[in-house]
């Protein structure tokens, strides 16, 4: 039976003055704020306590939103949707707002310009977010992947030539404008607090990724992407550059975001999104060296697609108890590192988004990367993410 109301049976030593063990005081600024209900039964010197832990409460106590990606399957399943509304206060559409899903080819051909039209899945999920008071991250506008080829060609016909630079810039401006205008017209724009303007434009060696945007417009397609987004997005929506393997690209990304300024030297960008598709064999300390470098830009930092796979990218491990404990400890250390920095004021972060919550629904399901198992039971990873150290795999 799936359970979404997480009641943790935690045994703590009762001190003579009713206090906590000294070990529990360590790192008290990071300790999860939880609701407790004391049992009336005592077993010798131990007292049984019921502890209710919800991610949105834990993160909210540090002014951080906590999110998940969202799919139609999740919305349609009453148990999954209940888990989402209990645990999270932010959502990102897993696919439905990517370029492949927002253009109407027939109407574009008829109009002679790109026509943005959100499909029924996007509307369903936006309605779900609105009904449940969930904030939304927009994902994504300009991307080399999951973007239809026909948008780059004369008459939207891939048998013809690429359009000119000027035509492609006009198409880019038109579709970015339409995204924000249509969300506003449909009554959804107020849900959005952030939008990924450009996704995955840089390689690990510091070079720019070649794609149709850069081929037709030139390398300044990145600047124009943010220029147009800044022109049409409301001030309430922060504009992000989003990328994976950010720990290997930090230097290149710092240099890149410094170019995203207008003629007065003002940033056209508000933040850097860290996808954080990590592995239990990764080094948390080394990862935070890159995070700190990116935070040094003064821009907001958001974790946008977090999951932690078992093992390494070369060698995925089985979901043994030992490996799952290592995952729980990794999540604990990672989230603690972010929250410590937020509390210390060394990083400007307002959201952490997990790329899903249940292993069976993950794009990396074979690596068991998320907080709940296939039956929606919380793993050590959940307690690590919730900052309950004694249940996260730590002895």
Catalytic residue among 173, 246, 302, 305: 305
Catalytic residue among 200, 246, 302, 358: 200
DSSP secondary-structure letter at 126? H
Q: Is 153 helix (H, G, I), strand (E, B) or coil?
A: strand
Tell me how far apart the alpha carbons of residues 381 and 378 are, in angstroms, rounded to a whole number.
8
User: Counting Cβ atoms within 10 Å, is residue 378 exposed (0-12), middle (13-18) or buried (19+)?
Assistant: buried
Tell me how far apart the alpha carbons of residues 176 and 102 are, in angstroms, rounded to a whole number.
11
| Paired tokens of 181 | 């205008």
Annotated catalytic, 200?
A: yes
Tell me how far apart the alpha carbons of residues 376 and 81 are, in angstroms, rounded to a whole number.
12
Relative to beta strand 46-52, strand 7-13 is antiparallel
CB atoms within 10 A of CB 85: 16
Task: Please report where in the chains the tokens 């109301």 appear, as a residue.
Answer: 5
| Paired tokens of 380 | 């050590």
DSSP 11-65: EEEPPTTS---HHHHTTGGGSPP-EEEEEEEEETTEEEEEEE--HHHHHHTTT-E
Q: Is 342 helix (H, G, I), strand (E, B) or coil?
A: helix
C-alpha distance from residue 354 to each of 65, 70, 114, 176, 283 (Å) = 11, 10, 32, 26, 19
DSSP 291-341: HHHHHTTSSEEEEEEEEEESB-SS-BPP--HHHHHHHHHHHHHHHHHHHHH
Tell me how far apart the alpha carbons of residues 155 and 213 are, in angstroms, rounded to a whole number.
17
Which residue(s) pair with 38 in the sheet? 49
User: Counting Cβ atoms within 10 Å, is residue 157 exposed (0-12), middle (13-18) or buried (19+)?
Assistant: exposed
User: Catalytic residue numbers?
Assistant: 200, 305
């Amino acid at each position: 039976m799936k359970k979404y109301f997480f009641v943790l049976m935690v045994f703590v030593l009762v001190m003579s003055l009713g206090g906590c063990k000294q070990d529990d005081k360590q790192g008290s600024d990071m300790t999860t704020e939880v609701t407790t209900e004391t049992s009336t039964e005592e077993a010798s010197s131990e007292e049984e306590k019921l502890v209710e832990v919800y991610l949105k409460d834990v993160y909210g106590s540090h002014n951080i939103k906590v999110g998940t990606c969202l799919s139609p399957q999740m919305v349609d399943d009453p148990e999954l949707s209940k888990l989402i509304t209990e645990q999270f206060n932010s959502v990102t559409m897993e696919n439905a707002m990517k370029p492949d899903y927002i253009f109407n080819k027939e109407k574009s051909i008829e109009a002679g310009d790109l026509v943005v039209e959100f499909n029924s899945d996007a509307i369903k999920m936006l309605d779900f977010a609105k009904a449940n008071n969930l904030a939304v991250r927009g994902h994504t506008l300009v991307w080399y992947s999951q973007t239809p080829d026909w948008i780059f060609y004369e008459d939207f016909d891939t048998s013809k030539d690429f359009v000119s630079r000027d035509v492609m810039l006009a198409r880019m401006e038109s579709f970015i404008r339409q995204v924000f205008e249509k969300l506003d017209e449909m009554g959804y724009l107020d849900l959005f607090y952030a939008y990924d303007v450009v996704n995955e434009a840089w390689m690990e060696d510091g070079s720019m990724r070649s794609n149709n945007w850069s081929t037709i417009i030139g390398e300044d397609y990145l600047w124009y992407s943010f220029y147009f987004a800044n022109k049409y997005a409301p001030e309430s929506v922060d504009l992000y550059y989003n990328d994976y393997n950010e720990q290997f690209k930090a230097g290149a990304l710092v240099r890149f975001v410094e170019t995203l300024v207008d003629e007065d030297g003002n940033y056209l960008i508000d933040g850097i999104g860290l996808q954080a598709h990590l592995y239990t064999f990764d080094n948390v300390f080394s990862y935070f060296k890159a995070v700190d470098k990116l935070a040094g830009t003064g821009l907001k930092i958001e974790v946008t697609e977090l999951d932690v796979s078992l093992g390494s990218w070369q060698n995925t491990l089985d979901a043994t108890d030992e490996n799952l404990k290592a995952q729980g400890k990794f999540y604990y250390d990672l989230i603690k590192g972010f929250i410590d920095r937020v509390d210390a004021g060394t990083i400007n972060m307002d959201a952490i988004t997990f790329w899903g919550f249940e292993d069976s629904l993950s794009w990396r399901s074979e690596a068991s990367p998320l907080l709940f198992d296939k039956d929606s039971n919380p793993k050590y990873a959940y307690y690590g993410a919730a900052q309950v150290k004694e249940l996260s795999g730590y002895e």
